[in-house]
């Protein structure tokens, strides 16, 4: 076993420090309410408690959207809704963009030179610069983004294993981990169950298809894990907290 390198200043207080002087990001374009059941544990039919009824409702809604989306591609009157059409291959780096950095209000914070990524476990904390993240062992994962809005795209990601980051801060691999975006609001957080944390494919990704992530895909880094809806693949990460 290798000992985690002593990188990042250790602090004993947890501070909400995004490492920038930018004004707080204000989401200007919230995702549709179809996401609420995935990200808000108080929502009826949240993940882990997805009811048959919710699945059925989702399927009916998705079918309805699909009809409108495809119609929007051909019927000029419905053109306005064709943003729902399949976008595979359309976005930068060959992967569609669900929500841009500008729409999320994070363009400044994500590109700030003072950016840091914070990892906490109990009272312990490591604050990593982007260079320090790049110096950790890098791994590839071939994993799709599967959006509940009805598209998915296969991609090759490269970055740091989530479990390596947990171990770096002396965290317990039997704990869930919360990921928090630079973005504020409901869609800024996802909790990764411990079994996904241990999965070697789960990454804090820095690259997509061999290139640095574009800001719309989550630069400086984003979560990417197998078998989870796209909405939980949190972009523009500020920190992760071993719970
Ligand atoms: N911080 C943050 N992360 C986010 C989102 C968001 O709105 N804010 N959208 C999610 C959704 S719904 C999807 S499908 C994926 C899409 O990732 P992409 O835009 O890189 O394709 O990002 C997810 N990560
Ligand atoms: Mo999505």
Mutation choice for ligand 1 from 32, 98, 216, CB with most ligand atoms inside 8 A: 98
Domain-wise residue ranges, the chain: 94-242
Between 14 and 170, the higher pLDDT residue = 170
> Which two tokens mark 100?
């841009």
CA distance 191 to 183: 15
pLDDT computed for residue 43 by the predictor: 62
pLDDT computed for residue 54 by the predictor: 54
Peptide bond into 221 cis (omega under 30): no
Atom of ligand 1 nearest to the CA of 146: 14
CA distance 151 to 145: 8
Q: Read off the pLDDT of residues 104-147 as tens digits, 9 standing for 90 and up.
A: 999 999 999 999 999 999 999 999 999 999 999 999 999 999 99
pLDDT computed for residue 4 by the predictor: 52
- Dist. CA 98 → ligand 1 center (Å): 5
> Which two tokens mark 20?
């920038």
Kindly state the helix (H) or strand (E) to which residue 118 belongs, with its residue range. strand 116-121
Please, are residues 177 and 197 in contact by the beta-carbon 8 Å criterion?
A: yes
CA distance 166 to 193: 13
Pocket of ligand 1 (CB under 6 A): 31, 35, 95-99, 104, 145, 147, 181, 183, 187-188, 217-218, 230-231, 233-236
- As a whole number, mean pLDDT of residues 16-21 equals 46
Tell me what the pLDDT averaged over the chain comes to.
Answer: 80
Kindly state the helix (H) or strand (E) to which residue 178 belongs, with its residue range. strand 177-181
The CATH number for 94-242, chosen from 3.30.1300.10, 3.90.420.10, 3.40.190.10, 3.40.920.10, is 3.90.420.10
- Dist. CA 117 → ligand 2 center (Å): 23
Angle 151-163-170 from CA coordinates, rounded to 5°: 145
Please, are residues 185 and 27 in contact by the beta-carbon 8 Å criterion?
A: yes
CA distances from 12 to 9, 68, 94 (A): 10, 53, 42
- Dist. CA 233 → ligand 1 center (Å): 6
Q: List strands edge to edge, sheet with 237-242.
A: 124-129, 116-121, 237-242, 177-181, 189-192
Please, are residues 222 and 164 in contact by the beta-carbon 8 Å criterion?
A: no
Give every CB contact of residue 15 below 8 A, 6+ residues apart in sequence.
none
Nearest CA to ligand 1 atom 16: 98
Give every CB contact of residue 223 below 8 A, 6+ residues apart in sequence.
162, 179, 190, 192, 202, 203, 204, 205, 232, 233, 234, 235, 237
Lowest mean pLDDT among 36-40, 154-158, 218-222: 36-40
Mutation choice for ligand 1 from 230, 238, 240, CB with most ligand atoms inside 8 A: 230
CB atoms within 10 A of CB 40: 14
- As a whole number, mean pLDDT of residues 222-228 equals 97
pLDDT computed for residue 62 by the predictor: 59
- Dist. CA 146 → ligand 2 center (Å): 7
- As a whole number, mean pLDDT of residues 26-51 equals 63
């Amino acid at each position: 076993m290798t000992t985690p390198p002593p990188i990042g200043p250790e602090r004993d207080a947890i501070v909400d420090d995004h490492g920038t002087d930018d004004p707080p990001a204000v989401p200007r374009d919230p995702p549709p309410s179809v996401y609420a059941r995935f990200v808000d544990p108080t929502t009826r039919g949240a993940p882990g408690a997805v009811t048959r009824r919710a699945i059925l409702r989702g399927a009916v809604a998705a079918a309805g959207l699909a009809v409108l989306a495809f119609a929007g591609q051909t019927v000029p009157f419905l053109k306005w809704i064709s943003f729902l059409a399949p976008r595979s291959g359309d976005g930068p780096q060959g992967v569609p963009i669900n929500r841009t950095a500008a729409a999320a209000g994070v363009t400044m914070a994500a590109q700030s030179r003072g950016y840091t990524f914070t990892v906490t476990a109990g009272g312990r904390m490591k604050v990593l610069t982007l260079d320090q993240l790049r110096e950790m062992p890098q791994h590839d994962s071939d994993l799709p983004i599967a959006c509940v809005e009805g598209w998915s795209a296969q991609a090759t990601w490269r970055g740091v294993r989530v479990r390596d980051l947990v171990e770096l801060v002396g965290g317990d691999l039997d704990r869930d981990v919360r990921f928090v975006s630079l973005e504020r609001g409901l869609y800024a957080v996802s909790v990764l169950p411990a079994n996904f944390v241990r999965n070697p494919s789960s990454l804090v990704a820095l690259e997509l298809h061999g290139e640095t992530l574009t800001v719309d895909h989550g630069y400086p880094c984003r979560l990417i894990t197998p078998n989870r809806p796209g909405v939980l693949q949190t972009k523009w990460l500020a920190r992760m907290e071993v719970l």
